[in-house]
A = this chain, B = another copy of it.
Amino acid sequence: MARRIIIIGANASGVEAASAARKKDRTAEITLLDKEKTAGYSRCGLPFVIGGQIASFKDLIVYSPAYFQMLKLNLRLETEVTAINTKEKTITIKTNNDAVEKLEYDSLVIATGAEPFMPPIKGRDKPGIFSLRNMKDGEKIDAAIRSGAKSAIIMGAGLIGLETGVGLIERGLKVTVVEMLPQILPQFLDADMAKLVQNHLEEKGMQILLNKTVEEFLGSDKVTSIKASGEVLKADLFLSAFGVRANTKLAVEAEIPLGESKGIKTNSRMETEVKDVYAVGDCAEAPSLITHRPMCAQLGTVAVREGKVAGANAGGGYSLFNGVLASAVTQLFEIEAGSTGLTETVAARNSIEVVTGAISSKTRAAYYPNSKSVKVKLVVEKESQRIIGAQIVGGEEVTQRVNALSFAIQKGINVRELAKADTAYAPPLNETWEPMVLAAEMVLMKLR
């Protein structure tokens, strides 16, 4: 009998798992279930539809129905999974016409993602608070703009909050970001690097209020203002961007254990504590390549890598997931910001003694026109002198520097090796001395 593989969730990690499973097993019966109307689209692209760079939410569909057909993947949309029974190896679903069905599996992949987190703030049940996690959320925000919203308050200065804030400014709204912590992008950058990004955003007209806690949502029919650290702030549109939490309800109810980061616990095959049940993407945890402690990175790149591993295993293969460095990058107006490994702040939280070094440089030779600024910061473990993290902020050429340091960190480079590294240069494309190498030199000066 053909192997029955069920995958709950049909976006980044789910589709990747299905594709990898199909590669391993040509005859398996592979079913993908998703409660949304649309599958195989890029959540990361949502802010850019808001911003108008991308014409329509439908454009975000990366895997069309034809893709699922070609790989003989049985895709069932608007279908909610209501229970998993790991003893029977069945799941219960509610179909789009409200019928209840039970499906049997040989291998199950949980790719239920994450959902926006709303802190217990007074008035949070009032209508009029938007979030941006799925296509429907995006369509609602777009509709609000089209109906004349002129100002927005974004609660949370993480990646989604700021990317959406930029999009709203590009659509002509006045945008205020309210952040509880003393810096923007706290999970991604240290305060010194975040300040560079903040300056750019403020120059572009974004109002950023730090150290401000949202205390209450005000308004009668719907939210019309918020109270933040005592101050009342009015706007036409309110976006909750406090962060996301792993969507683990189904797993918890099925007694599939969570780990210390509150994601679904997995081993290096992305298998949960229950045999033949895998978990991938934003709902699953995986070890940090630096601390070796489990974490929920909740990044698209991590999701697809995990999906590929779990899919291969679910399809009868053998594949290992090494762990997460959490390399990430964003573009906000004309600035790019990227990060890989641990920030200085996160290192301190893990009691890792570090030395850091940073350098500001240019993206082209000193004499070459249209050069842009770029700043590189390295976080080095003092004892081993190994690089454990890096942050880059600049006008261009940031993403692949993040990848360069990501590869180097994954291979255990120490700061002395980086200071002597062979790099590429041409006057229109780089400085003779690569800034990453100079940043290593800065760290060495402190270590001497």
Contact = CB atoms under 8 A, between A and B. Distances in A.
A322 B430 CA distance: 22
A59 B331 CA distance: 32
Interface string A1-24: 000000000001000000000000
A60 B366 CA distance: 9
Interface in A328-383: 328-331, 336, 338, 340, 365-369
Interface in A56-98: 59-62
A242 to B, nearest CB: 21
A289 B45 contact: no
Given A407-B413, A422-B406, A432-B300, A368 B45 contact: yes
Interface string A387-411: 0000000000111111111111011
Contacts of A413: 407, 410-411
A117 interface: no
Contacts of A331: 426, 428-429
Nearest to A41: B367
Interface string A405-429: 1111011110001101111111111
B420 A322 contact: yes
A54 B369 contact: yes
A327 interface: yes
Interface in A150-181: none
Contact of A397 (B12, B60, B399, B412): B399
A407 B365 CA distance: 21
B367 A424 contact: no
Nearest to A299: B425
A379 B420 CA distance: 23
Nearest to A300: B432
Given A403-B401, A404-B400, A404-B403, A423 B368 contact: no
Interface stretch (A211-219, A222-230, A301-309): A301-309
Number of copies: 2
A366 B64 CA distance: 13
A428 B48 contact: yes
A103 interface: no
A298 interface: no
A404 to B, nearest CB: 4
Contacts of A410: 413, 417, 421-422
Contacts of A42: 365, 367, 427, 432
A434 interface: yes
A418 B403 CA distance: 11
A279 interface: no
A84 to B, nearest CB: 28
A50 to B, nearest CB: 12
A425 B368 contact: no
B367 A329 contact: no
A433 interface: yes
A398 B428 CA distance: 12
A403 B424 contact: yes
Contacts of A45: 365, 367-368, 427
Nearest to A420: B322
A277 B410 CA distance: 39
A329 B403 contact: no
A329 B397 contact: no
A53 interface: yes
Nearest to A369: B53
A329 B426 contact: yes
A59 to B, nearest CB: 5
Nearest to A289: B422
Interface in A194-208: none
Contact of A12 (B411, B412, B432): B432
7 contacts: A44-B426, A44-B427, A328-B426, A340-B424, A400-B400, A400-B404, A411-B412
Given A289-B422, A301-B424, 14 more contacts: A42-B365, A44-B365, A44-B425, A54-B367, A301-B422, A301-B425, A329-B426, A400-B404, A403-B436, A406-B422, A407-B411, A408-B411, A410-B421, A411-B417
